[in-house]
Structure 1
């Protein structure tokens, strides 16, 4: 029964991502700013990114040399890119983990790690 529910949930999530109609799984219109799956993933990745940046010693050292405004600007660049890139980096396995509350944090951390790495490389080119 759990497999059927998980498969159905995954189908709904992937169907909403693939459809070009702008309607998300929860019935909202994603183009009108509704909280759809994409928005929730982006918000989770952005939040996780900022938390991880704040916990990194390298970021702390670099941030000491910046003003608070400049630090926010770089956080916005890095984490904004990561949250936008998240939908290109997400896998079916990640989506399954996001459905399960016990593995959601692990999935967000994995997506964030992949996207932040890609964005930092892109920003430093």
Structure 2
């Protein structure tokens, strides 16, 4: 879920759109995998156990938590990769 959310956020990112203009489609795919893998590894690092528990029992809280975690990680991972 985090990786898919990452891909969606990445495609909307101005940084990604600017970089994608100058690189091949094949390289874009490689970078997307690298960035979203990084996001998957780091997205939940700053999430409390209480927030995780709330997300486990509440679908709305889960969606919000995933979006927050992805947004906080995607920029840093994209900057490192690019």
TM-score (normalizing by structure 2): 0.78
Q: Which has the higher helix share?
A: 2
In the alignment, structure 1 segments of 5+ residues that lack a partner are: 1-43
1:82 deviates by: 0.7
1:67 deviates by: 0.8
In the alignment, structure 2 segments of 5+ residues that lack a partner are: none
1:71 deviates by: 0.4
Q: Is the 8 A contact 1:82 1:119 kept in 2?
A: yes
Kindly indicate whether structure 1 or structure 2 has the higher relative contact order, using CA contacts under 8 Å at least 6 residues apart: 2
Flag the structure with larger Rg.
Answer: 1
Q: Is the 8 A contact 2:43 2:69 kept in 1?
A: yes
Q: 1:73 aligns with which of 30, 33, 39?
A: 30
